[in-house]
Chain A
Amino acid sequence: MSASMETTGIQPGEITAFLTDSTLCIGCKACEVACKEWNELEQDGLTLSGFSYDNTMALGHSTWRHVKFVEGTPEPGLGGNAPQQLSWEFSSDVCKHCEVAGCLEACPTGALVRTEFGGVYLQPDICNGCAYCVVSCPFGVVQKNEEDGRAFKCTFCTDRQKDQLQPACAKACPTESIKFGRLDDLRAHARERLETLHARGMHDAQIYDPTDTSVKGIHSMFLIRGEPETYNLPPRPEVPTVYLKEGWRSAAIQGITLIAGVALSFLAARAKRNEVQA
């Protein structure tokens, strides 16, 4: 009994995070199923993709965890844990719950909010279906349900977190590939783990946590082998409002130039008139 009732001990106000370690992921998809069960998401397709064992293909309004299958060409003698090469990598993707979240900035109705645990939460009862968040997510996480009209994404199991339970995906993960905890603790853990993996000869291992872009870091970090692009993770994600600021600046310059131009032409015209009058 005690084992199943384990609580996180994390209080509202503390910032929580996921660390998804692909070197521990066995590709079982328990996270996908647990997520759908807990959040009562619908089954959304019965088509064979032909892309390895991935028939989920992408995150979306009814898929909040997605295990990616990256196939290499295996060599006899080398298992997937051999540092020499990548043969078949699995990594469970999820909403990044960005430090600076594009979706949240774009939302005109206030449906998207920052929770007391630092996650980004979409309130379906306030969403008006404008889909600004969809185009504003640098990771392509948010999707609009065309039948329903509203957008949906991972809730970070805020309901569970409030009850001091870890999110369903992390709870279901058999190999602790999906870790849930305090952001600072997991960042420290990720660094330690990276050192261990490097010491084992896995020099291609890296932490995916873009703190040096406008996203300013994410609350769903990843430990991957190889390049982020391999896992469909943008190497330098940016919050779209960054481009918006540039847009405002150029608009402002143009505006000023225009006003100045108009003013100058008036001044010039007056000078000319004065000349004629003279």
Chain B
Amino acid sequence: MEYTILILLLPAIMFIFLGLAGHKLKPKIAGIFGTISLGIVTLLSLTTAWEYFTSPRVNGVFEKIIPFNIEWLRLGEFLHIDIGILLDPISVIMLVVISLVSFMVHLYSMGYMHGEKGFQRYYAFLSLFTFSMLGLVVATNIFQTYIFWELVGVSSYLLIGFYYTKPSAIAASKKAFIVTRFADLGFLIGILVLSFYGQTFGFIDLMGGSSDLVLQGAAQKSFLGIGVLSWALGLMFIGAAGKSAMFPLHIWLPDAMEGPTPVSALIHAATMVVAGVYLVARMFPLYIVYAPGVLEIIACVGAFTALFAAIIACVQTDIKRVLAFSTISQIGFMMVALGVSTSMDAHGGLGYMASMFHLFTHAMFKALLFLGAGSIIHAVHSNEMKDMGGLRKHMPITHITFLIACLAIAGIPPFSGFFSKDEILAAAFKFSPMMGWVMTVIAGITAFYMFRLYYNIFWAKEAKHEHKPHESGYSMTVPLMVLALITCVAGFIPFGHFITANGLVYDLHLETSVALLSVGVAIISILIATIFYRKETQPIPEMLASKLKFIHKSAYKRFYIDEIYQFITHKVIFACISTPIAWFDRHIVDGFMNLMASATQKLSYLIRNFQSGRVQQYAYVFLLGIVVIVGLILLIL
């Protein structure tokens, strides 16, 4: 399957080509180039998936294939960084997800970004992002993951800051980069620790390969009372949490919505933000064996983030912000699913399968939601809910596709979200009933805020518009329809045949009680939302907001987490560390050097008086000298 290298190379070449020569091309031509190359990549990915999943299983599992691998950098006797392609079930699924969503976004952007300044640059960055993301998922070793991890970070930075003259976009891009960079530090240290004890970066070596014995030896060692491998994997989770916007590193994602909407759909909803989930899934065999404690932490962090973000999403008024918090919440679901897994077999590893399933379905319907939101924003030129309302009449296609996505995320059968969420809830109930109930409640809140959003956009009171909103063009509606179609049918994919923790076939079956419960909760939530928000006037929510003013306000302000960060960075790091250090440098360290210089100068001024230029003074000294010398001689003799 050597042709898979093309999947990486095409976007890379397109980035270089559009980056260097883009401004010489007509915007439309540049867009067409980018879209066609992505179309080819999508075809190649689908072919790869088809070929991979139809190849015969060995001992009941799909073989891991490395069609391409080169040594990139050698770091000592055992360690070397390779750049290569590793095909296994999760990477192949990710290839499909990324290239498909990316292709849709490329197509969609042709319409959405039409006439924007820097259109060519936009496509160059999209190609860079696609290249990096694809490189990330097919990595053969943890260091390659890290390399592309950083590259997706920078493409995200460049795309969030695409409107580089807008102060909020600049701030958001900077924030996104620095927060994830901080998390990446954890990832890097995790890699260092793991490679020190494992003496390899390769995934295959790490998991059941040649390093197994080495790692088992390392598992005995501990640092500060915690096993070194737990440290390594825990630190890696910090990296994953940063990229996947887990609490408390989630603050960059809502702001990242400053970027163009298709970018939010691609990077900040469907692909890059799930990289953290992918990383944990990739290292899953190690987590299960060496750091089950860390998995529990992951489950707790995931559950808390899911709840936290869901609550905030209920009160936001910017539709992209609502979707952003919904993304955070849904990624929390995936993390929970991974965290509640207890073993590699079909039963304990249900969560692993569920998280990958949810990742797949979520990528599709969340991209759909964002692209739909983009279509709405394109029509009304505003992000605020109050500028919308009643749009169902003007934008029928957007309306229907958006509704499908909302039903999917709320967990209504037969849409895809229902199936994947059901598996997650089942896994959570297996782990502990407490976790199961918490996740069910969050699923209910999800349904509520999504329909709040839906009604506020498409029903409720119609806002006054300068221009009458109209349906977007084909380049924008076609991707919506494609994604909606996938959302309708994806739930029936027998996912357990492709991805399970141990690779063996597992037949999904609905847990009837869990399914009934979750559907019931979802329907009740939707009904509440309907009562609250469908009408033109919304008395109940207003009353609730004024009754629970404190909670409403703090949720609206996202529980002041941003302010805390602002305080830490500006008041603590800038004002209490950097400024004193700079002062110390200028006044103490440099002052010492200047002191030496001025002391030397003072001393020489002092000595200079010996050379007064007065002859008679010299004569005195001379005479005195003679007397002293003669006196000394006399004394000695």
Q: Do A and B make up one complex?
A: no
B residues near A (Cβ < 8 Å) are none
